[in-house]
Structure 1
Amino acid sequence: MYATPIFRAAGLDPNGVSIYIVSDNSLNAFVAGGQKLFINTGLLLKAETPEQVIGVVAHETGHISGGHLSRVHDQLRNASAISILSTIAGVAAGVAAGRSDVGTAAILGGQNVATRNFLAYSRTQESSADQAGVKYLTEAGISSRGMLEFMQTLEGQELLSTASQDPYLRSHPLTVERVDFLENYVSNSSLKDAKVSTDLYERHARMRAKLFAFTNHIQNTMRTYPESDTSIAARYARSIAYYRDSQLEPALEIIEGLIAEEPSNPYFEELKGQILLEFGRARDAIPPLQKSAELSNGAPLIRLLLAHAMIETGDEAYLAPAKENLIGVLSRERGNASAWRFRAIVENRLGNEGEASLSQAEYSLLTGDRQAASYHAVQADRKLEKGTATWVRAQDILQATNPDGVPGKDASN
């Protein structure tokens, strides 16, 4: 909802650009590793309107289309999302696919993403990205006011010490000329007072409520979204707050009420399923998660949560559907490490030792453990039928982890 119109205006395939939400309170967004866009939760919480987020996306898209990442392309081109974050921030993980409603709540903890010395754009590149960004916004029929408002927010930080500034300002140098350009562009645009749909404003409010509740203590959430606030966004936040505070009954009561109001909302069903799963009621979590998967047209992270619930039941009858869901996830997100880990568990329980070893090798490769990836690939090589697609993939992993020769095998083979 935020990014697709911009990507299309820029001539990019929306399915070819990956968006990740980084659990970090600082205000930041950046592109890395080709067409990968990272947005901090701090930026999303700071953005009061959807146009402000869209403006940031438009600017970052300008960096992508302008080829401004060429100097780090060689270093990052083969990196997974997890390894990119490890390179930039030194964090173990911390990404989750972004959605208009933030999709799943499985956002991993992280540290401040220190990009100043890694991704720093010149003033010329920043101006170029601004110009490209407003062009994409105009072509998409969206006002550039959001981009201007975001830049004006950054203006107030320029006098702060470098250590106190948000990372976005440090890696995206702001100048008076850039702000003047945006002010002039907006004032002369026929779209200057245009707003996106009221539906997107409501989605934005819910997204911020969800992020706030998942990243703050219950006291902060209840202060920001008090009982007197009966909006859907506020109730959504309170349900999450109670759940995170281990108060099952009030959490379920609120989310059941929201489901009754919006029975076609996949994210309310998702939250209900997640609450039940994490309170040890895996079997009860399956129906709402199945409905959520159906309503979201098979959103990968929801299907992943559903597979997790099926595995947690310990019921062998759920192994086959769990595998089906995991295959569905991996068909759309082959780099989803958690899906490979769960698939290794399922394949092992089904007695498919070769597939289990290969899945574990994929998981280890994605999480940066090359030694473990090599070990499990060797096991897969021994157990899988030679010549099959899975056996060939095991050879690929062996080659990737041991370019000078496969351990335990004659180099001539």
Structure 2
Amino acid sequence: MRHAPQIVQGSASPVASAAVDIARSRVGWFGTGLTARVMARVMARVMALSLVAMVLFWSGPLAAQQRGLQLIRDAEIENTIRIYATPLFQAAGLSPGAIDVYLIADDSLNAFVTQGGRMFLHTGFLMASETPLQTIGVIAHETGHLAAGHYIGRRDEIESAGFTAAASSLLAILAGIATGDGRVAAAVSSGGQDIALRNLLSFTRGQEQAADQAAVDYLRGTNQSPEGLLDFFRILQNQEVLLSAQQDPYLRTHPLTADRITFLEQAVASSPYTGAPIPADVMERHQRMRAKLAGFLRTPREVYHLFPRDDDSLPARYAHAITSFKQGFLDDALVTLDGLIAERPDDPYFHELRGQMLLENQRVAEALPEYEKAVELRPRDPQLLLRLAQVQVELGVEETFRAALENLTSVLAFEPNNATAWRLSAIAHGRLGNQGMTALSLAEYNYARSNWRDASGQAEKAKTLLEEGTSGWLRASDLAVVAGREAEQERERER
């Protein structure tokens, strides 16, 4: 079973810290059947899992999988979303670093926010957005919900209403990243859970109107028109005649009214930025995002419908290269990608993709210089550093093990709970004969995955192998205490 291409791994800066803070404070907001206290603990355990770049797995096109909620990660796409969202967050008075943005692999049009500063965007929505303004407009609207704390206002209702199914859905999303196995999240069925999640995330008409007004203000404050949001709402308006089960989730969770459409039409008409041309580089970045999503998540037939074979644009060739790679035609994929690299030799994501193509075809040594080039071009990107370290570990010689540890140290400086980085660190230390650091890395790895008993055991082992008083020994001592306490509480719950 091959892992999904780089699309499921990505840069971690939007999603690393807030969830861990929530976990440490033991915030729980679901409860039925289980007591609220136990449910809170379950939520906390999952949220404590590392929300960082983890490898998800797949066995074929996404459409062939069981329908569920599955997170994806990609450095390039997340960078595009960050470029769109950061000015809006700032206009709303929100700290961009405090907002976690997640991408859900789902063809439907949807976007929503939940408590804790978390925004979720469906890939179907991103691919359906023909212009950056449509994506930006929806992000502005959802930012309005975040800034107003609309999800907080529903907390009491959520806690008393018994949305166990909705809890399962959101927990499954997080578990999919934490375990590194997309099947964990994909195992969440739709049906009743979809209904519960719909109820959980729905907003009142008053809240929707307030978010619309906020979006218009944020867009004006960032010199942008709300015409993209209006375009998106008109798409949804055409779906209102459909049965609820056939409508896209956004329409079911965000009530759409004629008054809202009229308000946006007036806002578009009065905006000094309406009709302003979209810069070519901004449009290309947007089309590259759509091409990459399509190449990895859609069937070849769908890809060539969106980006015809005779389309010689850069985004189209990007999609074609990915589609050829996904179909197993490596030589064709490399020829197309090499043409892109010849045009843009300093594009880190083209080198990253070339490295991935080679790595997944067991050409590890050839993949190394591609990842090295990608990191040279974006030296502070945790995901690129992580993938470079992975290749260095797979090469399996002392020199590359040491280089991998240097890169993993950089990754962990950005993402201290990155379970994949700790696992690779354990391998590298083990091959170099550093038994104490191997045990400590395994303790960290298991702690990031909430495997408390294994974390406690490895931490105790590390204490016996590391020199007392060193930073490693002190960290092992802390882990032994915290993980040991969690393990004991886990045993008590099992009794």
- The TM tier, using the shorter chain, reads 0.7 to 0.9
Report the residue type matching 1:299 in the other structure.
D
Q: Identity of aligned pairs, percent?
A: 43
Per-residue Cα deviation, 1:43-90 (whole angstroms, up to 9, x for no partner)? 11111111111111111111221122325779x9xxxxxxx9965163
Aligned residues: 390
TM-score, normalization: structure 2? 0.72
Contact between 1:28 and 1:43, CA under 8 Å: does it hold in 2? yes
Q: Give the secondary-structure state (helix, strand or coil) at the position aligned to 2:113.
A: strand
Show the counterpart of 2:94. 12
C-alpha displacement of 1:350? 2.6
Q: Give the secondary-structure state (helix, strand or coil) at the position aligned to 1:178.
A: helix
Show the counterpart of 1:225. 307
Name which of 181, 189, 196 aligns with 2:271.
189
C-alpha displacement of 1:294? 1.6
Q: Could you say if the C-alpha distance between residues 269 and 179 of structure 1 is closer, same or farther in structure 2, counting changes exceeding 3 Å? A: same
Contact between 2:102 and 2:120, CA under 8 Å: does it hold in 1? yes
Compare 85-94 and 22-31 and name the one that shifted more.
Answer: 85-94
C-alpha displacement of 1:195? 4.0
Show the counterpart of 1:32. 114
Show the counterpart of 2:380. 298
Show the counterpart of 1:126. 208
Show the counterpart of 1:309. 391
Q: Could you say if the C-alpha distance between residues 176 and 244 of structure 1 is closer, same or farther in structure 2, counting changes exceeding 3 Å? A: same
Alignment of 1:358-373 (within 5 A): 358-373=440-455
Contact between 1:22 and 1:94, CA under 8 Å: does it hold in 2? no
2:137 and 2:396 mapped to 1: Cα distance? 47
Q: Could you say if the C-alpha distance between residues 352 and 180 of structure 1 is closer, same or farther in structure 2, counting changes exceeding 3 Å? A: farther
1:175 aligns with 2:175: no
Alignment of 1:106-125 (within 5 A): 111=186, 114=194, 115-125=197-207
Contact between 2:456 and 2:487, CA under 8 Å: does it hold in 1? no
2:167 and 2:330 mapped to 1: Cα distance? 34
Name which of 313, 320, 332 aligns with 1:238.
320
C-alpha displacement of 1:261? 0.4
C-alpha displacement of 1:355? 3.0
Report the residue type matching 2:250 in the other structure.
Y
Name which of 185, 197, 213 aligns with 2:295.
213
Q: Which runs of 5+ in 2 are unaligned?
A: 1-82, 159-165, 490-495
2:271 and 2:465 mapped to 1: Cα distance? 64
1:256 aligns with 2:338: yes
Compare 387-396 and 271-280 and name the one that shifted more.
Answer: 387-396
Alpha-carbon RMSD: 2.9
Name which of 380, 391, 402 aligns with 1:320.
402
Q: Give the secondary-structure state (helix, strand or coil) at the position aligned to 2:273.
A: coil
Q: Could you say if the C-alpha distance between residues 398 and 165 of structure 1 is closer, same or farther in structure 2, counting changes exceeding 3 Å? A: farther
Q: Could you say if the C-alpha distance between residues 195 and 27 of structure 1 is closer, same or farther in structure 2, counting changes exceeding 3 Å? A: same
Q: Could you say if the C-alpha distance between residues 214 and 405 of structure 1 is closer, same or farther in structure 2, counting changes exceeding 3 Å? A: closer
2:318 and 2:486 mapped to 1: Cα distance? 54
1:117 and 1:363 mapped to 2: Cα distance? 36
C-alpha displacement of 1:244? 1.1
Name which of 413, 422, 436 aligns with 1:354.
436
2:257 and 2:483 mapped to 1: Cα distance? 46
Q: Give the secondary-structure state (helix, strand or coil) at the position aligned to 2:198.
A: coil
C-alpha displacement of 1:18? 2.7
TM-score, normalization: structure 1? 0.85
1:404 and 1:222 mapped to 2: Cα distance? 51
Q: Give the secondary-structure state (helix, strand or coil) at the position aligned to 2:224.
A: coil
C-alpha displacement of 1:358? 3.2
2:230 and 2:111 mapped to 1: Cα distance? 16
C-alpha displacement of 1:17? 2.4
